[in-house]
Structure 1
């Protein structure tokens, strides 16, 4: 048989432990199958012991964040090589589009696609084995070939267990903090600071009744939890002064527990044993509709004695219906409906009024990636960013930079040309206040995880980069006076702050840095375990609740936001006083990726107002005089547009960049000169 096409990803990172391959839908697709149980969420089950497939989807179970996957399209069944793989399963697959691609459980897809050849039914063989020694995760092969005659899913080879150990239920009984103590001894490489075991237990703790039945005093510190874990059988002494994992009995066999709690623990214990194999069973039943009990052991490649307890669990959990030696899959259980609450709106007497104002100073990025700026008082489309995940945009000397997630950002220059920035600045880049420099951290998660700090000069088109680091350790705080400030995390929450001037070696700072005001250079540092503000002139100010406050550009004030009702609180660092300013109803003060407020000038903060019936209205707040304006973006803004952060200082208004500009090419010429 002939291999028609293939695609590969050696470092696929699944979310929620599930590899996902889906149909890539175009304008014309086949309708969904009449059998709704074959839909991606047509049953109550998960992805199975190895993998399952259905109407336009394939799910595979992954136990590591890094997986190597190869997908192949054939014109007929390829050779089965049992000796090359630990686990092999075959299943029908219905393609409504004739094209498939890897994606994620929560949505989205990778750029690579696999053309299967045509729409219709296929057989897919899903093979799994561990990666080579020294590598992480598993290696997968998904092979597709046309097959109009439907045969039930069949497991050709199993090496890993089809059923698992039961969950003994001690986490529910002892609480998370005590169970965490067992992980301290049993999970290799679990880092904790010195003295961690002697810290007090502050969260969920075992009841006095449980402690009495185990013959141990109620714990006060984490170390006090060790006798409880030994009595429960979760830990045993290793003969070297430490502890190792034990083999505990089910909590309900050791303790006299309340009836409802005991029922939950017993049900969870059985579920842990059969839940993955039950997903295989349901997938067989959905494709067979019905499946015969006599065939199940052979199809699932499990011993005959496994089938009856498996069926008993699946029936009790309402995953299948069993009748006359046959089983059928059941749809998901309906979710309980919540009573509808009457929402009574309270009119805030102190809610400020708004007046009509000017458009956003630097423009906005629409829901479909269109970049819009204002010229001579009118909105003008500057260009469009071809990226599925966009969150932030900056005005720069050379144009509008739009940051993406999982891909390099794009610069729409003042002529409207889309320019891919030569380095990946990550999802949280920073910009110098004069609009000349961008900096960020490129991250790579895979078998060899690393990060790298980059700086890009948008005027000279020059790039500087630090060496790659092992693991993900660095984050950029800001750019001030030509230097990039970043932190490096190592060990257990140990943060080192550094200042890096491109062309020179980074310099480590004396204390950990949490915030930087790029306009003034004011900083929030950690000294003697407390957060301290160092103003631009070097004066020190104590900062209570440091994670709450953010600098107002200029460094003399800090601000924080409230949500219900929306308000901004401002801290005057010199006076040591705070003042609260109510916002118009519906302003989004949450700081979310696409609707977070932005500073247009050191005195004006602009909010989106999506919670008042329109995602397109923005509200401008003038801090000094506590006055508000509103502006409605044009309909082209689409769903969830976000504002472009303007240049704050260092450059006069330039033609083509700010409202009333003339010719964008003039600015391009100025930058080149």
Structure 2
């Protein structure tokens, strides 16, 4: 056995806290063919798992800190174990033969030749870098192997798989480990049992059962129902859910306007999440009737968001509060400017604290709404530079500081710089709208990017990541561009008398329906609010109680794309 060649990178920057290595020739016809669910992003589990994972032409690992020391080694056979690596995993890996370190939103760099296309074994070790306390060191050793594959095995851990103080995060990562184990076991025909899974994951059988139960509950795995330890399991992995159906309307410029009048427009149900009135009333519907859940006297509500733990209200004078379902009023702060953002699970809230004066400063906050924990993004107070939170994707707050953009996982690490400037995020699809000095509009998707878009530079991202949209004023209309490949714009007419534009107060109830307030007390349908189906162009008239007759602030509903 011999070391054939090696490559070292002492300053690798892990975008999104993820070390990523990819094939340089991802479409090579010479590569070994394996199941489609081993492709990158085919199953939307947490990147890296507890240590690292590998699939068809890709490897990723968790990487905290700004810069990492990474060493790649190509061997002709299995090398002897290297001492001093407290975290260690072995896994199969298929490749076209040439790989390179990469980033989530960019391609391979510094191509490194492993050998001929085929099936390889990877041993990946991770430890704290003694030369850089802000990073880690990684050793990736590759050698060719023959089929059938030996499924992944976790050889060493610096802590137990499931820790009591971090059980939720550890379960998320362990589900990723389990999914990769099941997928690679399927390639070799290995029969898995609870005992075999515990041995491969290097954990007690009780923890293996907890991981199996969570994977089933989260919809990633089927075929487990608390069987005995040695009983064979018939596990299967579910792929990434199919996206919502695309628009089926012909690609004409104008979606036909619904032929509804004041007397013939059908009545629609009330707003899903309620509204805030001009007098500070929070109105929701219970058992089909409007109920005043709370009243914030003299408060002018500028934004309202539904969460899993109640409704968040932000006022024009920069106060923020959470109204819990039991009517409890929780004041979150009194200096929050800009927009608030909730993650797709409705449990985290990102806010920007702003103090303007002789010494202007900002602070990015992330609240865990379950218990009220407030995390502040390091370095805490940001002096002199404009800062703003843009949203939360997979538990990570994305924000801008001056002309730079960063991503940050609350409570666990320093913010990491991004290679583009953020404009807008969609937490449901993990789609990002960004810009660069050469591209005023760029799209960054969960499965790749960024890509420049040739669209109106003021276009915004619609929730669900299916469209960019802009507004026309006379006559009022919503203009849509299909994503990820914008073509000819579609113009969806709105009821005459609608308030349009960013300040109009419209919200998306789901991926195809928009609620649009009237410019004054009523639109052409005779009501203060209309629901518009952006696929068919149909209108519904939405009546509101007295508190909503004059430009209500609609509560942005919590929904799943």
Q: TM-score, normalised by structure 1?
A: 0.42
RCO (CA 8 Å, sep 6+): is it higher in 1 or 2?
Answer: 2
Q: TM-score, normalised by structure 2?
A: 0.50
Q: Which has the higher strand share?
A: 2
Computing the radius of gyration over CA atoms, which structure comes out larger, 1 or 2?
1
